[in-house]
Amino acid sequence: MSGGGPTPGRTAAFDAIAPTYDASRGGTARAAGFAGQLAPLLDPAEPVLDIGVGTGIVAAELTARGHRVYGVDLSPGMLAHARERLGPRVAVGDAGRLPVRTASVAQAVSTWLLHAGPDPRAVFREVARVLRPGGRYLVIPARGMRPTDDIGRIVGELEDRLDPSGTRQDGPALLAPLASAHGLAYEGTASERPTVFRVSPTDMARAIEGGRLFTGAWQVADADLPLVTHACARLRALPDPELPRVREMADFVMVFRRAG
């Protein structure tokens, strides 16, 4: 990989949360789960490019499963952690302008990248450029499923208000047509992994206010903070707000392929 330069400003949010990112996003259990979903879809004989590698926590789990992983990320703060895990196989770079040679990559992955700010059109165009003909891009979305229980409805409405144009959605309905318009055919989902967890409305309100899980609220502009406050008040006003709800979701891999 050739070097790429950071873009000041665009990385500030992830630089700031880098020290607490892993622990606040499910730690090694999440990473091991994602690696377990990706690994059977990857060829161990070919290197893997992890685009938006972050702290390298998922890449490290893939490495432990026998894959040689290279990583690119826009945030120097996140990459500092990835470098501790992966050594010099990581570089600062923009997913929309990858520091990688054309048609040089057999397989690429991204976990929780496409809701996090990059223009997915630019990412798909770049991935189509760097993949070899027939190469695959495996994506685990952050918002592939939106729960519709009482907590999910309130959080979903908050997300829609904070992101009215849907740029932070990253499920197949939005991404499949964008990918095919930019050189990658969508082949469907694979490795579905149901996850069941418990959270109470009060816990969720606390998490949103703390800027942690299940929402982009940590990137909310000051002007939009009243929307967050209102959503948290609605969560606390639900019946039995201390009672954990059993929430069922699923993580899955979206498979994209460059024409052979």
Ligand X SMILES: C[S@@+](CC[C@H](N)C(=O)[O-])C[C@H]1O[C@@H](n2cnc3c(N)ncnc32)[C@H](O)[C@@H]1O
Positions that interact with ligand X (CB under 6 A): 11, 14, 52-54, 57-58, 73-75, 78, 94-96, 111-113, 116-118
> By beta-carbon distance, which residue lies closest to ligand X?
54
Q: Please report how the helices 172-181 and 120-130 are oriented relative to each other, as an axis angle in degrees rounded to 10.
A: 50
14 versus 252: smaller Cβ distance to ligand X: 14
Residue 117 CB, shortest distance to ligand X, in Å, is: 4
How do the residues of the chain divide into helix, strand and coil, expressed in percent and rounded to 5? 45, 25, 35
Name, in order, each residue with C-beta under 8 angstroms of 167's C-beta and a sequence gap of 6 or more: none
Query: Across the chain, which distance is largest between two alpha carbons, in Å?
Result: 56
118 versus 201: smaller Cβ distance to ligand X: 118
214 versus 230: smaller Cβ distance to ligand X: 214
Residue 81 CB, shortest distance to ligand X, in Å, is: 9
CB atoms within 10 A of CB 133: 9
Distance CA 56, CA 89 (A): 10
Residue 237 CB, shortest distance to ligand X, in Å, is: 30
Residue 94 CB, shortest distance to ligand X, in Å, is: 5
1 versus 153: smaller Cβ distance to ligand X: 1
